Amino acid sequence: MTTDHSPSGRPRARALGIPFAGSPGRSNAITDVAGVEVGYVTLIEGEGELVVGRGPVRTGVTAILPRGRAGVGTSCSAGWYSLNGNGEMTGTTWISETGALSFPVMITNTHAVGSVHRGVIDWIVAHRPDLAMQWLLPVVAETWDGYLNDINGGHVRPAHAAIAIDQAHDGAIDEGSVGGGTGMNCYGFKGGCGTSSRQVAHGGSTFTVGAFVQANFGGRDELAIAGRHLGDLAVADPLADDGWWQRDQRRAAPGGAGSVIVIVATDAPLLPAQCSALARRVPLGLARTGTSGSHFSGDIFLSFSTADPGALDSRFPNDGDPPFASLTFVPWGHIDPFYEATVQAVEEAVVNALVVNQDMTGRDGNWTPALPHSLLLERMGTQ
């Protein structure tokens, strides 16, 4: 049975009866792709007025390990795509060059990319010194959490990246305000981490496509869920003078600004160009939730395949190497079901990030409400 509650006990979108197309995997998560592990470090500390370097702190780090800790250094076929470039994902030029991903994928806040990048290198030096003798180009992506978090305070340290890697696991994973998604907002509601998966039958086998989002994008008036426009939802704010919170009021998170990072994983054998093609389908899943892609949103996506481990490894040649390598792949003419699975999983992952969440107050009393379940169900006609 598909997991319909997060490990924290919070209901996910399916627990509310929200309908989605496609067949999810056991945990309905990116970790349904065998070998993929996800770990978090969540940093929440302090209340009240912003004091740079002291807080309040609402941030963290997410680690996605394509082959788990044991498989760090073994390549996956990979590709990436940027819908809008107001953001950062390090390591992508080497992925473009080689079509390969060999290290953990990390996600954090905009001003912590350097710390997390250093932390991945420190982890590899400590645990895989054999790999540390070559170039290390970790993938670190970001979205901006400065509305709720002391983003300039340097609270994310290299050690936090290493801890996130060490805590990564398979199976059901938390969503909402955890890890790198801790301080994020989405469609004017509390955003953050979300995940989903889909199963695809091909060639007598069943493959899995999983998506993970760090959702920090979209204006309140854009929101759509399961084909219903919900951009006029309003929720009570005890801090506002008139008792109501709306997108344009002083305490509202900035509509449209932010970013979204999406990681797509599959165990289906794909060429690097096919991984890039999956990444290019991510915006179609995001669009189902309402976004039109803001100029101030960094929308960057990465896709990888865990099939054919090591086939794309980049090593200095030696006399014992075989002269050729081979890579299995789904024929291009049969790729459409994997596109469809990507779009479906991305859509549900965003909604999970919204549904699992709770209200959060951050620096200077800035407040972001969670998506209200009762109003949502009323509008969806399921209550």
CATH number at residue 238: 3.60.70.12
Residue 43 is given by DSSP the state E
Question: 196, 276, 297, 303: which one is catalytic?
Answer: 297
Residue 318 lies in a domain: no
Residue 372 lies in a domain: no
Residue 5 lies in a domain: no
Query: Quick check: 363 and 50 in contact, CB under 8 A?
Result: yes
Q: Which residues of 54-87 are buried (b: 16+ CB within 10 A; e: fewer)?
A: ebbbbbbbbbbbbbbbebbbbbbbbbbbebbebb
pLDDT at 377 over 60: yes
Residue 283 lies in a domain: yes
Residue 191 lies in a domain: yes
Which pair of tokens denotes residue 240? 């506002």
pLDDT at 96 over 50: yes
What stretches of 12-122 adopt beta strand conformation (E)?
37-45, 57-65, 76-85, 100-101, 105-109
State the pTM of this model. 0.94
3-state percent helix, strand, coil for the chain, nearest multiple of 5: 25, 30, 45
Which pLDDT does position 232 carry in this prediction?
84
Provide the residue range defining the domain that includes 242: 13-311+329-363
What stretches of the chain adopt beta strand conformation (E)?
37-45, 57-65, 76-85, 100-101, 105-109, 139-143, 185-186, 189-190, 192-202, 205-218, 224-225, 228-229, 235-236, 244-245, 256-266, 297-305, 360-361, 367-368
Residue whose C-alpha is closest to residue 259's, from 317, 206, 300, 221: 300
Max Cα distance, the chain (Å): 76
Q: Between 158 and 247, where is the model more confident? A: 158
Residue 124 is given by DSSP the state H
| CA dist 98 → 24, 65, 140, 185 (Å) | 31, 19, 18, 34
Q: What is the pLDDT of residues 203-249, one digit of tens each?
A: 999 999 999 999 999 999 999 999 999 988 866 555 544 443 343 34
Residue 279 lies in a domain: yes
Least confident of 172-181, 236-245, 332-341: 236-245
Residue 376 lies in a domain: no
Question: 75, 259, 294, 305: which one is catalytic?
Answer: 259
Query: Quick check: 305 and 267 in contact, CB under 8 A?
Result: yes
pLDDT at 379 over 90: no
Average pLDDT, the chain: 93
Total count of domains within the chain: 1
In one letter, which amino acid is 369? P
For the question of residue 259 being annotated catalytic, the response is yes
Question: 32, 299, 303, 305: which one is catalytic?
Answer: 299
Residue 233 lies in a domain: yes
* Three-class SS state of 328: coil
Q: What is the pLDDT of residues 105-151, one digit of tens each?
A: 999 999 999 999 999 999 999 999 999 988 999 999 999 999 999 99
